[in-house]
């Protein structure tokens, strides 16, 4: 890119920590340009809020905001109000942008290359915007230069303009200031206090982060550190996005969080799940769900041993002779359990003297609780990312199960990996009954949903040892009649306190 320094004084060493550098460039299958952003350390935020942030992994950042042509190529629709093939796409929500990233990642050429597209984290966005600067803008402090770099309220005519007309920053990125506000991956929240490494924002929230200001904002609102917030479904003609890209090998490790753990009188373990808001479902069904009450989620599926202890019978068909020899009983998940059986198990377990004395009440998870726990803060197809090639590390499914369930205990050597909240087999092993009747999701944002008041089938989640990868996705909804008894179906339970 030539002409980068036009209209701007030579940078002084006291303002710039890095001289302009030419970073490696690349292009996606649909012609989107990227620049490789190096790993590094920077001061995020401004004034008293500034925090040292370290980004340990290099990533590719879109050189431009996603254009209307690039959006239409992947999504097949033209939602923008201010039309122009090379103008940034706008009038898209956070949920739309996430779906765009997912579909782009699934294009055959991108999958083959192992490219996973996503929204940048807020830290990545600011790091890329600053491009090594510590100043108000990515080019320095002077408001009067902003017009060379950005479309904002003084020069935009109150509309978007084709991307890439204004000067790029020192890392070659255009329109980081102005044109459209850019969606970030994170929930909006207070920054963590102290230094942070690869921060991804709060684990839950009600608002998403938008950055960089837009054609409609004053200069000051376009600052590198300025934050906007809005709901996941908010659409506006000043909101668009750019995408980041990482190789699939880098996107499989959401940061694990250690939640408080407890055990009950029959040896089941539970994690205390925090309250929070998340985007449930996918595509047109995506909607914000807020869970206002903490609950404890079973770390694993209920085992055959635990089921028999409470119910006196074991209807399971899958049997693991090795575990029976080693442990004296089958520690595989209970299978061939009807919804009615699973509900009866919860009632009987709650009525055991030790459980009553402890004030413990058991029930099936609601569908919303189940998906919240399965996602563990992620927005990807699976709780570990979008890369199906590593599904076998986390789940028993048709490709690795050898047509049976597998032990559901912590000391099993062939246990699959847990999700970031320490929950096992949310994907695969056995389908898990949820409390809800199956039905259409409500529209808009909801709190503590419990599903339709009546129906003919109950919700099943997570897929099983007999299913292909598609059915194991965090958002995939299975369903069956409450009396259905199939050897791919089991359950896990939620524990709440009766308040005693
Ligand atoms: Ca922008
Ligand atoms: Ca499961």
Strands 295-298 and 269-273 turn out to be antiparallel
5 falls in which pLDDT band (50, 70, 90)? very low
92 Cα–ligand 1 center, Å:
14
Strands (E), 145-207: 181-187, 196-197
347 Cα–ligand 2 center, Å:
21
Q: What is the mean pLDDT of residues 356-375?
A: 97
- The answer to whether the beta carbons of residues 370 and 364 sit under 8 Å apart is no
181 Cα–ligand 2 center, Å:
40
Q: What is the mean pLDDT of residues 159-182?
A: 97
Is pLDDT of 320 > 80?
Answer: no
Rounded CA-CA distance 67/81 in Å is 13
pLDDT for position 286: 85
Is pLDDT of 238 > 50?
Answer: yes
User: For every residue of 328-384, which 3-state class applies, written as one string?
Assistant: CCCCCECCCCCHHHHHHHHHHHHHCHHHHHHCEEEECCCHHHHHHHHHCCCCCCECC
Ligand having the closest approach to the CA of 211: 1
Q: Kindly report, residue by residue over 472-500, the tens digit of the pLDDT.
A: 999 999 999 999 999 999 999 999 987 65
Is pLDDT of 64 > 60?
Answer: yes
CATH 3.90.1580.10 is the classification of domain 31-250 = yes
Of 322-326, 380-384, 489-493, the one with minimum mean pLDDT is: 322-326
Q: Do domains 31-250 and 264-497 have the same CATH topology?
A: yes
Sketch the domain layout of the chain as residue ranges.
Answer: 31-250, 264-497
240 Cα–ligand 1 center, Å:
8
Is pLDDT of 325 > 70?
Answer: no
Helix 68-75 crosses helix 94-106 at what angle (to 10 degrees)?
Answer: 70
- All residues at 6 or more sequence positions from 3 whose CB lies less than 8 Å from its CB, including other chains: 167
| Ligand 1 ion: nearby residues, β-carbon < 5 Å | 175, 179, 182, 212
Q: What is the DSSP letter of 17?
A: S
DSSP assignment of 34-48, as one string? Answer: EEEEPPEEEEESSGG
399 falls in which pLDDT band (50, 70, 90)? very high
Ligand having the closest approach to the CA of 472: 2
Is pLDDT of 27 > 50?
Answer: yes
How buried is residue 186: exposed, middle or buried, by Cβ count under 10 Å (0-12/13-18/19+)?
buried
Q: Kindly report, residue by residue over 190-205, the tens digit of the pLDDT.
A: 888 889 999 999 888 8
Which of the listed CATH numbers 3.90.1580.10, 3.30.70.890, 3.40.190.10, 3.40.47.10 matches domain 264-497?
Answer: 3.90.1580.10
pLDDT for position 16: 38
pLDDT for position 249: 61
Considering the chain, what percentage of its residues have pLDDT values greater than 70?
A: 91
Q: What is the mean pLDDT of residues 259-277?
A: 91
pLDDT for position 182: 98
Higher pLDDT, 200 or 223: 223
């Amino acid at each position: 890119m030539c002409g980068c320094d036009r209209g701007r004084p030579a940078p002084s060493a006291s303002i710039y920590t890095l001289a302009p550098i030419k970073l490696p460039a690349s292009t996606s299958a649909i012609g989107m340009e990227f620049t490789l952003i190096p790993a590094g350390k920077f001061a995020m935020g401004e004034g008293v809020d500034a925090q040292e942030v370290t980004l340990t992994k290099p990533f590719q950042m879109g050189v431009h905001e996603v254009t209307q042509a690039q959006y239409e190529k992947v999504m097949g629709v033209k939602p923008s109000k201010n039309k122009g093939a090379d103008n940034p796409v706008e009038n898209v929500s956070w949920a739309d942008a996430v779906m765009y990233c997912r579909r782009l990642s699934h294009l055959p050429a991108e999958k083959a290359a192992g490219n996973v597209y996503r929204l940048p984290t807020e830290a990545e966005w600011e790091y890329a915007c600053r491009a090594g600067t510590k100043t108000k803008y990515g080019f320095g402090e002077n408001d009067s230069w902003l017009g060379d770099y950005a479309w904002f309220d003084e020069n935009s005519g109150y509309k978007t303009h084709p991307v890439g007309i204004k000067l790029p920053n020192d890392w070659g990125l255009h329109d980081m200031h102005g044109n459209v506000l850019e969606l970030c991956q994170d929930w909006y929240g207070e920054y963590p206090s102290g230094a942070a490494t690869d921060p991804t924002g709060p684990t839950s929230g009600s608002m998403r982060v938008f950055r960089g200001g837009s054609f409609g904002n004053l200069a000051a609102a376009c600052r590198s550190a300025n934050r906007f917030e809005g709901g996941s479904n908010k659409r506006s003609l000043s909101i668009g996005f750019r995408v980041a890209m990482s190789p699939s090998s880098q996107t499989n490790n959401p940061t694990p969080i250690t939640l408080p753990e407890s055990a009950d009188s029959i040896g089941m373990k539970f994690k205390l799940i925090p309250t929070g808001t998340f985007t449930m479902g996918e595509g047109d069904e995506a909607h914000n769900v807020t869970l206002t009450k903490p609950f404890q989620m079973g770390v694993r599926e209920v085992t055959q041993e635990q089921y028999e202890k409470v119910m006196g019978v074991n209807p399971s068909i899958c049997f693991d002779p090795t575990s029976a020899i080693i442990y004296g009983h089958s520690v595989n998940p209970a299978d061939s359990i009807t919804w009615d059986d699973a509900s009866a198990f919860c009632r009987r377990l709650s009525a055991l003297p030790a459980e009553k004395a402890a004030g413990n009440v058991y029930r099936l998870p609601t569908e919303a609780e189940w998906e919240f726990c399965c996602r563990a803060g992620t927005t990807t197809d699976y709780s570990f990312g979008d890369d199906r090639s590593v599904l076998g590390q986390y789940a028993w499914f048709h490709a690795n199960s050898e047509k049976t369930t597998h032990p559901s205990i912590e000391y099993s050597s062939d246990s699959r990996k847990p999700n970031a909240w320490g929950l096992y087999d949310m994907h695969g092993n056995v389908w898990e009954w949820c409390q809800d009747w199956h039905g259409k999701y409500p529209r808009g944002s909801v709190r503590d949903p419990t599903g339709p008041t009546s129906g003919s089938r109950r919700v099943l989640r997570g897929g099983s040892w007999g299913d292909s990868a598609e059915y194991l996705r965090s958002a995939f909804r299975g369903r069956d009649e409450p009396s259905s008894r199939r050897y791919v179906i089991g359950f896990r339970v939620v524990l709440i306190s009766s308040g005693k």
